[in-house]
Amino acid sequence: MRLVVIGGSAAGMSAAARARRVSPDTEIAVFEKGPYVSTSLCGLPFYISGDVKSWRDLIVYTPEYFREKRNIQVFTEHRVKRILPYKKKIIVEDRNGVEEEIAYDRLVIATGGEPERHFDGENVFYLRRIEDGIRIREFIEKRGPRRAVVVGGGYTGLEVVDALYRRGMKVEVVEMEEVLLPAFDPEIGEDVRRMLENKGIDVILGKRITSLPEGDMVIFTTGISPRNKLAQDAGIETGKSGGIKVDERLQTSHFGIYACGDCAEFRDWVSGKRRIFPLGTVANKTGRACGENAAGGNVKIRGIVWVSVFRVLDMEIGKAGLSLKEAREFGMDAESVMIEGKNLAHFMPDAGKVKVKLVYERGTGRILGGEVWGEGVQRRVDILATAIKTKMNMDELAMLDLSYSPPFSPVWDPVVIAARKGGKK
């Protein structure tokens, strides 16, 4: 059997690697239009800041490793131009412009997402691929820009703001919505705005970009769209999100063709609605499932909980499941509760503040989502993600057994305190 994978980033290479483990005799080929595979794109802001010294540190495995150690043929700088599902072939163009038809028995589409492009110029940048990070850092180190504009106030944009600020630049962030972090509830965005402005960072809200902002450099981080043209041209169904439709086994509308990562849409565990999840964890998990199923397995993904965590300057921010705004937009009868507590025992000298907001369903108390910001965030977001996945209600979360030691947490964790407060409503 021959398995062909389109796309060599996290999802695609996870699919290829898992297929090899499941089926040692399958012929596996990966086609990637760029020069690199198996890259850690989430590390790009930390490469820009200088925390990661070399872009090569963001390469997990090389094509040579996959060829020599895993018996997976990897073709970089090979662009797949068409999928011919009824012939079970793809048309590939190599780096010299030569086209070739490649046959497959099973196909995995892992084409990822693409940034919304607005303007071009030598000082205009988008952040999606390793090459983008290299170009940005080279520009900073060679040109020495003093003022930067970041367009997009989501979490990637704020990570870039953090990176540029710590390089000593004057930074302005522009967001077209009336609040930063529009995927979160507004309390977080407002706290982040105050923190940034206290650091001397300019925050412009409610502004849609119609002309190129003035700055020594401009970085756009305004969102990711599924790269779905190959699938659509082949007659493969896409959903309202633009992502490729897949079933629980991640098979598309064409038998034997699977999709994973940022280019596909999956069922949201909480709402039941289908959406895209442009997260590295989801790319790796769905890629692994695709590879196993394409090689003859039967892994099912019945839903995904949105889980994210990041840091901007002095604040950690995380989210699991739905915000209150999202839950109500999905038609759910949702309510919320918010508390402020300490991340450690109050008598510890380095104890800091942490805020927890829980979203739950009226009547049942089922936990729909949670947002945590301040200090000591990641552990608490993971607790909430687990509670959501296991369909806990507020009373059950309030009675959860959690570890305690003064250097790690207070005796009553803020998550438990929030659940108790919400359970009384």
| Confidence tier at 115 by pLDDT (50, 70, 90) | confident
Judged against a pLDDT cut of 90, whether residue 223 lies above it is answered with no
Average pLDDT over residues 114-129: 90
Average pLDDT over residues 68-96: 96
Q: How far apart are CA 195 and CA 200, in angstroms?
A: 9
SS (H, E, C) the chain: CEEEEECCCHHHHHHHHHHHHHCCCCEEEEEECCCCCCECHHHHHHHHHCCCCCHHHHECCCHHHHHHHCCCEEEECCEEEEEECCCCEEEEECCCCCEEEEECCEEEECCCEEECCCCCCCCEEECCCHHHHHHHHHHHHHHCCCEEEEECCCHHHHHHHHHHHHCCCEEEEEECCCCCCCCCCHHHHHHHHHHHHHCCCEEEECCCCCCCCCCCEEEECCCEEECCHHHHHCCCCECCCCCEECCCCCECCCCCEEECHHHEEEEECCCCCEEECCCHHHHHHHHHHHHHHHCCCCCCCCCECCEEEEEECCEEEEEEECCHHHHHHCCCCEEEEEEEEECCCCCCCCCCEEEEEEEEECCCCEEEEEEEEECCCHHHHHHHHHHHHCCCEHHHHHCCCCCCCCCCCCCCCHHHHHHHHHHCC
| Confidence tier at 100 by pLDDT (50, 70, 90) | very high
Q: What is the rounded average pLDDT for all residues in the chain? A: 95
- Residue 208: the pLDDT is 87
- Residue 117: the pLDDT is 83
Determine what percent of the chain is predicted with pLDDT higher than 90.
94
Determine what percent of the chain is predicted with pLDDT higher than 70.
100
Average pLDDT over residues 322-328: 97
Average pLDDT over residues 359-365: 95
Judged against a pLDDT cut of 60, whether residue 362 lies above it is answered with yes
326 vs 194, 270, 365, 383, CA distance in Å? 24, 11, 17, 20
274 residue type, one letter: R
Q: Round the CA-based radius of gyration of the chain to a whole number and report it.
A: 23
Q: What is the pLDDT of residues 228-284, one digit of tens each?
A: 999 999 999 999 999 999 999 999 999 999 999 999 999 999 999 999 999 999 999
| Confidence tier at 424 by pLDDT (50, 70, 90) | low
Cα atoms found within 13 Å of the Cα of residue 413, Cβ hemisphere only: 24
| Confidence tier at 365 by pLDDT (50, 70, 90) | very high
* Residues taking part in catalysis: 42
- Residue 224: the pLDDT is 86
- Residue 425: the pLDDT is 56
- The pTM of this model reads 0.94
Q: What is the pLDDT of residues 22-63, one digit of tens each?
A: 999 999 999 999 999 999 989 999 999 999 999 999 999 999
Q: How far apart are CA 296 and CA 182, in angstroms?
A: 41
Judged against a pLDDT cut of 90, whether residue 214 lies above it is answered with no
- Residue 422: the pLDDT is 85
Average pLDDT over residues 389-411: 95
| Confidence tier at 124 by pLDDT (50, 70, 90) | very high
- Residue 420: the pLDDT is 95
- Residue 30: the pLDDT is 98
Domains of the chain plus CATH, in order, are 2-40+60-113+225-294 (3.50.50.60), 117-220 (3.50.50.60), 317-423 (3.30.390.30)
- Residue 293: the pLDDT is 98
Judged against a pLDDT cut of 80, whether residue 423 lies above it is answered with no
Q: How far apart are CA 273 and CA 303, in angstroms?
A: 9
Judged against a pLDDT cut of 90, whether residue 407 lies above it is answered with yes
148 residue type, one letter: A
